[in-house]
Amino acid sequence: MNNQKFSLQPFVDGKLLPNFKITGNITRHANQLNLCYVLSGDLEKVAIASPSNTPKRKHELWEDTCFEFFLSVKNSDKYWEFNLSPTGDWNIYRFDGYRQGMQEETAFSILPFNVQHQSDSLVVVLEMDLSKIILLEEILQIAITTVIKSKDGEVSYWALIHQEKEADFHLRDSFIIEL
């Protein structure tokens, strides 16, 4: 089993950021991936949509508060983008290369995660079997990211590392966790 803790950093572009912290851990045991995000801080300033009674696959979740991660097999150009909304809505996209060939990943019909609204934090927990897209013996490279939209409409981008002058979660240099 491989367990790694993380702390995301905001992309600094001159905007004032509320006092937030995004931490968590990611574990891979065999081909089971477990990922936990904890958003803490002044959540009253964050636009967090109410949970849906019927969560579903949905496009453009990144336009609002959204927890994301990017997964690739080491030495492959192909990668996947996973989007988890606090509403329970979700999506998975497959890419052939850097921002190329984007299409919905149809190997999954559900994405098993839950969202816990606590008094001082928002916790998102995902537990999924990767066997539909990844072989057990393959080494994963992962980027963990989050988009936070404030109630006043400002958006901040959070990642393990920011490599360029513009926030770009798709850069392979940002896939720094290996499992």
pLDDT value of position 120: 87
pLDDT in tens, the chain (179 residues): 688 999 999 997 756 566 889 999 999 999 999 999 999 998 988 999 888 889 999 999 999 999 999 999 999 999 999 999 999 999 999 999 999 999 999 999 999 999 999 888 999 999 999 999 999 999 999 999 999 999 999 899 999 999 888 889 999 999 999 99
Query: pTM score, two decimals?
Result: 0.94
Range of the domain at 158: 2-178
In 3D, which of 79, 93, 95, 62 has the Cα closest to residue 173?
A: 79
In single-letter form, the type of residue at position 32 comes to: Q
pLDDT value of position 164: 84
pLDDT value of position 16: 54
pLDDT value of position 74: 95
Annotate 64-122 with three-state secondary structure: CCEEEEEEEECCCCCEEEEEECCCCCEEEEEECECCECCEECCCCCCCCEEEEECCCEE
pLDDT value of position 165: 82
Count the domains in the chain. 1
Backbone angles phi, psi at 146, to 5 degrees: -155, 140
pLDDT value of position 124: 97
